[in-house]
Homo-oligomer: A and B are copies of this chain.
Amino acid sequence: MRIKLNVLTLALLLCACLHGFATHAELLVKKQRFDLAEFNTFAGKTIKQVAIGYESYGTLNADKSNVVLITHYFSANSHAAGKYALDDAQAGYWDAIIGPGKAIDTDKYFVISIDSLANLNAFDPNTITTGPASIDPDTGKPYGLNFPVVTIRDFVISQKLLLESLGISSLHAVVGASMGSLQALDWAAAYPSWVPRMISVIGSGQTDAWTTSLLERWAMPIRLDKNWQGGDYYAYIAPQEGLVESMMAITLDALTPTFINQVGQSPEVQHSPLQTQPLHDINASFAIVDWLRERATLRVKHMDANHLLYLVRANQLFIAGYHQNLAAGMQRVTAKTLFLPASSDLLLRPYLAEEAHATLKQQGKDTELIYLDGIYGHLVGVSNIAQQADTIRQFLAN
């Protein structure tokens, strides 16, 4: 499939990929806040005064049996669907499948999504999170690297505490893309009595040596930035250059040669290997690099560099079930599971979802795997999720 895209379409598409389509914005949503006096991490540390944000779509039924939990991806927050105001430019990232009458039908389900700990969008007014940029109550200053390492399991536990505070004691399903898929699968392993259904989109069962190395390349530019200063920059200048380079790397890893070369052919970029400025000035960039940098620069406005390091680490430290191997971790899963890897994914490559699926299948469990198609690589799981809307709808109905 070859799509001709003009530059405006491209820009919209990238925005849409990253922030969600705004086509069915019937839902008006509000960010809510959950406070915990303290939180004990998987690694055995205590964090005081933890606050996390959440959003919900639809109505909790009387017996609280219609809860669908949406776990978010690396650069997202809990804004999975709807708009905060009618004139918002964009709706939540999975608005194509969450809403009244949609695949995850808010006329039937109470859909809830929760900001992760150390959420990347630390300075976004619509994100409530606790992480290295938060004030340590013991010192009155930002934690910086004194914030303890947190894991995907910690995200799961914090979500469970929030749900319990709402009187919820089981889920109809948990559904997540990318980093959200790690949480979804770990939910099924950690709390099997809560989770009858789990959907992993562009996901993984554990982080292998390759993916760990690849994720490290996202942390590296921040650590190299002279303003990073070992994470102690909150009173000084933030390491924005490293953060921008990190987001450029993330963008590339989440896309594909086919897509980037289409951008290269757009009127805005017009890639040429003989572009004049780079030929004459070693400090000049190619147009495609400028294109990536401009978009990354816009995206990092509300992000925190240390939070990015902590999210990288949480993703590196992942094995669903948190046992010594994946099979042991999957042993307790009772959920029916659905894996939707993207065939063009270069970031969480399809073999990762295939391994998790095969492990469950070997244990005789009810599991299915269907490939998402499209040229956008990892982002297919966000931007093109609607192609499996019917599959998701039916999976949730049974």
Contacts and interface: CB of A to CB of B under 8 A. Distances in A.
Interface of A: 42-43, 145, 147, 149, 151, 206-214, 216-217, 220-221, 224-226, 231, 241-242, 245, 249, 252, 256-257, 260-261, 263-265, 269, 271-275, 278-283, 285-286, 288-289, 292, 309-310, 313, 316-319, 322, 324, 349, 351
Given A207-B273, A210-B264, 5 more contacts: A43-B279, A210-B257, A212-B273, A217-B217, A220-B221
A67 to B, nearest CB: 29
Contacts of A278: 149, 313, 316-317
Contact of A288 (B212, B226, B275, B349): B212
A300 to B, nearest CB: 15
A22 to B, nearest CB: 28
A28 B286 CA distance: 43
Copies in the complex: 2
21 contacts: A42-B279, A149-B281, A151-B279, A208-B264, A209-B260, A210-B257, A210-B261, A212-B271, A212-B286, A212-B288, A212-B289, A213-B260, A216-B286, A221-B221, A224-B224, A224-B241, A224-B242, A257-B349, A273-B317, A274-B322, A282-B313
A295 to B, nearest CB: 12
Contacts of A217: 217, 249, 252
Contacts of A318: 273
A189 to B, nearest CB: 13
A211 B264 CA distance: 11
A257 B351 contact: yes
Contacts of A226: 224, 226
A214 B256 CA distance: 11
Given A145-B283, A213-B288, A283-B145, A261 B208 contact: yes
A209 B261 contact: yes
Contacts of A221: 220-221, 224
A210 B259 CA distance: 9
Contacts of A147: 282
Contacts of A211: 257
A214 B261 CA distance: 12
A236 to B, nearest CB: 14
A215 to B, nearest CB: 9
Contact of A216 (B42, B285, B319): B285
| Most B C-beta atoms less than 10 A away, residue of A261, A269, A349 | A261
